Structure 1
Amino acid sequence: MKFGQQLQQEIFPPWRLSYIQYDVLKSELKQRQLAHDWTDQDEQDFVELLESELDKVYDFVTAKLNEVEARISYCERTIQTFMNNPSWSSDQNWNVMDEALTEVLFDVNDLAKFTRLNYIGFQKILKKHDKWTGLNLTQGFVPQLRAKPLDKQRFDVAIVFISSLHDICRLQGKPRTGNAAAGGDQNAFERATAKYWIHPDNVTEVKSIIMLHLPVLIFNKDKRYEPSDSAISSVYFDNDDFDLYTGRLQRDEGAEAIRFRWYGPMASNSIFIERKTHHASWLDGASVKDRFRLNVEEVPRFISGELSADAYADQLRAKGTDEKTIEGNHFIAKGIQTSFNEKQLKPVLRAFYNRTAFQLPGDQRVRVSLDTDLTFIREDNLDGITRRGPREWRRPDVGIDYPFSYLEDRDILRFPYAVLETKLQTHLGQEPPEWLTKLVDSHLVHEVPRFSKYLHGACYFHRDRMPLLPWWLSEMAIDIHKPRSTNFGLTRSKSFKPLIDGQYRRAMEQEERRMSIVADKANAENKNDNNGRIFDRNDDDMVMSPSPFDDPLMSSATLSPTSRQEPMPRSSSAGNTLIGSPVHTPSLAKPPVEPWLQAPPPPVSSSSSPAPSVFMADEEQGLKKKKKKNKKAKEDMELQELGEPVQIDKGSLRLDMQDEEKKSKGMRRLLGDKGPMYIEDPNNKGSMIPIKKVKIDPKVFFSNERTLLSWLQFCALLLTVALSLLNLGQGTSRIAGGVFIGVGAVVAIYALYRFEKRAWMINNRVIGRYDDLWGPAVLCALLVGALIVNFYLRFG
């Protein structure tokens, strides 16, 4: 597909005028070429036009980003007010803020797509210019693109703050147990990993989807989050024969990968010495990653052997470190130093990326990381070019300033995709959450089993030395940008309202909660029927439908009623959660809600299937039956008022006239009254679900007036005939005229009565028949009767 067509298809309509005018630039380029040879004046005019478009796009992105930051700041201040004033901390207020943050998240996603699409547009038009004119404007336009960059992801900070505030709304200001830094110094990790590539167009959307289920993990919550906090740099070591590369590629028993890693800027003092081992012999064949920490000035001494493993253990012992940690770190340090001495390891490759990690603090069972701006940089001197000194273990001329424009092309490889990595502690029985399974099966990701950053970078720079190459190199030649085949992900309705997996967020959340309650009820009934038998995970009778907003480590089928009623114990302060706490669902901390109090499923639309009957719930009877849950019911009714409106097409909802006669007057209620209106759940006999009131279209009133005028026109015609018979006729004609006058008067009064009644029903939103069932039939009977009287008197 040509880029011009792609641009038109992917344009976000409300921002249409702010996109790059690609077709205009292309037309300008083509028309000048056809009119005459390209001149210096043409080049100057085209550059000015290009700069004008860049200014327009950049200013729009900057303004929108400032607007997003202002909205986030407003939400943060409002949430802080809720936390400081418990009287304002109601379910309704928390949900309003949660909805507001979701709206901001969608705008960030749209803005990221807008920026990406415009950046590609400028690259395309520059390339087309160079091809048609023979000039090199692509290189000459670099200063303008650096001054007003569109290629950098500038939305990570906003997503992190939204994640933090989103989590506080879920917890309703309550603190959560768990330390974000827990596991930061852990020296051994045993996890099952899977890796995926993500097209740059989908990066922000994938981040947003994960954020709705897992919080962005921030290790240091004492400082404000900065873009440099996500930077990770790793220097990989190997020898001249690339033995570690070959062992990892062939997955030999005990194959190692050794790297030195630091987080954040180059000034970071902590360097993590890491070793990945495939089928480690000391763990009964399990693959493991282990590591320990050194200060940056100690690294050269450790590589040379001046700082031995024993000396390092003595340092830890002097600091008061526990003996178990000392033994573990000593074992790792000794093994790595042995590999350095036996295999003559040297720095070979640096991998840089910005990582966004998603995880519950202190809980390693489920962890998802997303690496963007992945870049490979040469660290070796194998080609005769000196890139670092003999005592240096990393290049001093390279920082974390992506895209590293100052490096020569021979020293750098910018990976075109982001890398998604899922890590599950399957040895502890952890299964992948349902939402994660849906994500990795969607069009947004492309699975690449056993992808390795080191193997990819090393084979690129040293392909002539490699006897074997990774299998996924052939995948680089295909387009991993897949078309959207389902409603999964973040979309917008025709009215540009946010949709999650094709549904309004509130409707989806309430429906998932309703299904989880049904699952709990089914499990309880099954246990009673089987004398307390506990169902296995694979039992066919077990119903599981975890909410996409529930804790990702638990499903509704595994939660007891007690765990739903009582919040999990928490230790950290609420104030500390403003910048980086995890996501938790308020539904887990609430008692189960009766099915008849649940919110509606997705919007109702007309179909060929019979429409469910609608009736009004008797509030007094319902409250008498649910006295103990009166307070909870009231809160849920308030929540439902925040739901999206149900679009009711003609014929979608009807009033069952037979049931209406059987119902008491107390069961009938006007739509204008306070409280919800209920509809029978077709999937659950005997239970009801509420629906949202629909806004009245002004055309409904005009239709009512047109109906009245039609009846009055008929009356006027009838009265005209009657008056003619009275004034011009004699005897029998006058009697017939009098009968017609009576019929016309009755019809006019009846038409006025029906008009007023319909207007009252519309204003009060009464569910019922708006057509006239008996009026036309009675009118026909009166007219026929009048004609019979007239013929009888005339010819009888």
Structure 2
Amino acid sequence: MRFGRTLRESIYPPWKDKYIDYAKLKSLLREDVADDDNQPWTEEDETRFCEEIFNNQLEKVAQFQEQRFNALKERVDAAFDKLKELAPVESSEDDGAPQKGEISASRLRTLESELDEITNEVRELKKYSNINYTGFLKIIKKHDRKRGDRYKVRPMMQLSLSQRPFNSETGYSPLLNKLSIMYFAIRQQLEDGGEQLPPLDLESQGETHNGERYTAHKFWVHPDNLLEVKTVILRHLPALVYSEQSAKELDGSDSPSITSLYFDNKQFELYGEKVNRKSEATSLRLRWYGQLATRPEIFVEQKTVDDKGGSQDLKFTIKDKYVKSFVNGEYNPEKAVQKMKRQSFAPEKIEQFQETVNNIQKYVKEKGLSPVLRANYVRTAFQKPADDRIRIAIDTDVAFIREDTLDPSRPCRDPNEWHRLDIDESEMTYPFKKMNQSEVNRFPYALLEIKLKEDSQRKHPTWVEDLMSSHLVHPTPRFSKFVHGIAALFEDYVNNLPFWLSDLESDIRKDPQKTFEEEEQRRAQRHEDVMAVGSLIGAGAKSGSYKPTQSSPVSKSYLAERMSKDSIAQALNRRTSTPANGEEAGESSSQQRSEQERSYGTLSSVIPGFSLSKYSRAKRASQQPLPEGVVAPTEWIKNMGELKVEPKVWLANERTFLKWQHICILQGGLAVGLYTAAGENTLASVIGLLFVLIAVFAGIWGYAMLRIRRTMIVERSGKDFDNMIGPMIISGSLMLVLILNFFFAYREAFGKFKDDQSSLGELLSEDLK
């Protein structure tokens, strides 16, 4: 179908004059006129075309979209004010306010009808933006193809579209959040309270796996922020290998490479359903890990998205030799059924398998589906073992490859095969440089998907909320690999393009402080809206209180600091400010306490930051300050296993104790000998007693260190085993006693010498007389 016909069928009658004039632009471009020498394309023709598309058509569409959006905001605010007037008060002091149980159901239904009208207009406005966005890209592509030898205006158009983001969904978020709150409050009253659940997040996408309901959040991650994002996740979740098969095929240090082969027909019907968000939109793919040459297990997966945004998955496994017959609609699962019976599968499981195979194969035949697109990527998964409440996947090295046979003269895939032999037989990997580069599209960012199991309160962990609202990720709520690959490689075959294409033309890196402030403002506004109609919602939705944080909980990346040099001083102040949440504050304080305890009884407790041990010197040489938001673990991995201490460790501790006892015995023997030989000499007796005290201290110190070091060994402590206080006390005491002994002995000897000199002088004087 040509785009002009699609545009005519998509026009919303009240706005029919506000759409792009595609026919006029084609006329200016002379699309239907063959080039000849009599009518060359001149500068005046190019100026006329650019003037019309940029200054008239683009401005007309952008201004109308902005006007309608502002009008919708005013209508939503007016409806919100009406809902606040209907909110009952808890006390009866204000007789004029409505009380609980006195709210008119008719007024609520009238307000709900008004919200339905607003929601329908929001939907029409989004369709309006999408079809016009596609129209501008289509006509510009025609221009560059027909007049591109001298003039190329596609880069200028992409820049203009990014500066007028009328096709972006970011601006709709506050509007949708307020609509969600109002719908929830009204239905709580009309359904007699219902379940006490908070409002739904209309930007997220629901999925169902094994009967469990998950909410999926999707983001792009710039390569400069990828390592930092992985670090944030690894602090809370371990890396996970998806299957034993992928673990056997790949090196243990690598994440599994995944290939998805998507199906569609020549009209790209499945693509149209997904990009237009039709109810019951379905996608079908084959998926396998590693290289197809290793005969991996192939999964056939059918995913259907309902009108409420939820999804249901059907899948089964198949061998590669049966895939061709499956694509042709000739696959008979009888062998697989017999194998399941031999393995004693439950009859219900076997029946469900047969039904799934027949339904999917029937769907393929009815729609005329065949493989059209290959997506190849490397996946890193994060999940706690036996805990599926939080599931995170990061896809890197994402590449999309054409797998179609739309052009019979130059098919990308052999029509007699179900996959491309040139890729799979040669085991070609990313970046796929040994193939026609017009058939491959490399996605510039990593893809982050966070799946959270829904509970009764729909509360998300704090660290997940911080990551999703940080500057490290760029939200793309309904991103789809299938949709993006088709839009990138089959632009000439489709008439609708996804909204996120304009984001590829801009830098998704953000200033950390600005992003943090915007998120705080958004949370505060949402909290204010909930509290404004809190009595209508009930206690369940009001239980969570909003507390503004003082600094961004996610640290700045190196690139982010380069992008915001003016805020470096503020970042340094934030690094020393109060932690963002209680958990981090607790970890920080515990880390400080552990540092204080680590320096017990060492010279570092007397002279801070100084220790003579090899451990401390090595630590000082290698220690680096941790990034903001990263804290030391409370328990090291080396301490988690069974305690195994070699005998030489115990013997070394005992040898140290025996050496202290040897010192004690030597000092004690010296002290007893000196005290015994002192006799009437008071000085010798005092010195002997002092040596006795030193000997006693040496014995007590040696035994105390024996017990302390034994406890440290058992606890696998990282503290210093050396302790200089004891040796310094004993050495200082010995030096002091020896100095005192020398001083008193010298004074006594000097006194005797003076007395002898005076006696000798008296004798000489008597002899002379």
Shorter-normalised TM range: 0.3 to 0.5
Q: Which has the higher helix share?
A: 2
**Larger Rg: 1 or 2?**
2
TM-score, normalised by the number of residues in structure 2: 0.40
